[in-house]
Amino acid sequence: MIVIILPLLTCFQLLAQQVKEPPVTDHEWTDAYEPFRVAGNLYYVGTYDLTSYLITTAKGHILINTGVASSASQIEANIKKLGFRLKDVKILLTNQVHHDHVGAMAELKKKTGAKLFVDAKDAAVLRDGGMTDYYFAGASPVFRPVKPDRLLHDGDSVSLGGTSLLFLHHPGHTKGSCSFLVDLKDSARTYRTLISNIPSIIIEKKFSEVTAYPGMKEDYAYTLDTMPKISFDIWVAAHASQFDLHEKRKPADRYNPMLFSDRETYLERLKKIREKYEKMVAEDK
C-alpha cells in the first residue's frame, strides 16, 4: 500500500507546482492604484480593479483578497505606503476563490505567517489551486494551492484587536463566495460597512449543464434573495468596477467614507443579475 500511495503523492506535489494561471487580458487587473483610507481602520490596498482591503488593529491586521499572482508585490508596497507592515497581517480572508482574488494568497500567507480563513464550501478549490473549480477546472492548478486554517460558515465572526467582521455566505459565483459586515469608526461616527461579493453569473451554459456545481441555481436564488435585504451605511466590492470606485473617487480626493454610501447602485447591480438569472432559469426548463 505504501508503494502505491507515495508515487501518487509525489505526482500530486509535482502537479501542484505547475501552476498555469489564466492570462490577464484586462490591464486594469494589474495596473497600480494609490492606496487610500476607505473608512475608519479600513484601507484599499489593491490594484486598479482587483480590490484588496486592509483592516488595521493594535493586535495586527486583516487582509481581504490578494488579486492575481503578480499582485503580491503591489499589495505589499501599498501597505507600506500607508505606514503599515505586511508582516503584521495576522488573518487572511477572501470574497471568493477564483484566481483573480486568491492568486497571491499562497505567497502572502508564507510571507506573513498569517492564518487563512475561508468559506467551508470553497476550501477544496483553495487546497487544489482551482483544479476542481466549476469554471477554471483543468489538469493543472490556476493558482498556487494553499491550505486554510479555519473554515467559516454563515453567521460566524472573525475578530482581531477589537474589530469584528460578520461572515455572510453568498454562494453562486463560487460555492463559497461570501461578504463581510463590519462596524468601522472614525472621529465623526460609526459606519456599518459591507465588503461584498457581487454575485455575477459567468457561465455560458445552462445551470443544469454545470455538473461540477449541481446546486448553482439554488445557491444563486438564495444569494439574490438575501443580499438586497442587508442593511449598511457604506459598501465596497471585490472589483472596483462593481461599486464604481473610479467614478466616485479620484486619487487626490480627501477622506470621505460617504462616497461609498450609494445603495441605489448596489441594488441596481443585484437587480440586473436577478434579471439574467431569471432568464437563464426560464431557458433551462
pLDDT tens, position by position, 120-163: 999 999 999 999 999 988 889 999 999 999 999 999 999 999 99
* Higher pLDDT, residue 109 or 8: 109
H-assigned helices in 190-262:
216-226, 245-248
Kindly indicate the confidence band of residue 174, based on its pLDDT and cuts at 50, 70 and 90.
Answer: very high
pLDDT of 242 reads 98
Mean pLDDT throughout 110-129?
Answer: 98
Task: Say which residues have a Cβ less than 8 Å from residue 259's Cβ, sequence separation at least 6.
Answer: 248, 249, 253
Model pTM? 0.93
Q: Per the domain annotation, does 248 fall within a domain?
A: yes
pLDDT of 16 reads 47
pLDDT of 6 reads 41
> Residue 257 sits in which domain range?
29-283
Q: Per the domain annotation, does 21 fall within a domain?
A: no
Amino acid at 78: N
The three cell numbers of residue 122 are 470553497
pLDDT of 5 reads 46
- 502537479: which residue's cell? 15
Q: Per the domain annotation, does 22 fall within a domain?
A: no
Radius of gyration, alpha carbons of the chain: 19
Mean pLDDT throughout 111-127?
Answer: 98
Q: Per the domain annotation, does 20 fall within a domain?
A: no
Q: In what order do the strands lie in the sheet with 234-237?
A: 157-160, 163-169, 178-185, 190-196, 234-237
What's the gap between Cα 207 and its chain centre?
23
Number of H helices, E strands in the chain: 8, 12
Least confident window among 3-7, 50-54, 199-203, 254-258: 3-7
The pLDDT of residue 2 is above 70: no
The three cell numbers of residue 159 are 475578530
Q: Provide the number of structural domains found in the chain.
A: 1
The pLDDT of residue 285 is above 90: no
H-assigned helices in the chain:
2-17, 71-81, 99-102, 105-112, 123-127, 216-226, 245-248, 263-283
Residue 37 sits in a domain of what CATH number? 3.60.15.10
State the Cα torsion 243-172-226-37 to the nearest 10°.
Answer: -30
Report CA-CA distances (Å) from 168 to 137, 138, 277, 284: 25, 29, 21, 28
Phi, psi of 24 (to 5 degrees): -85, 110
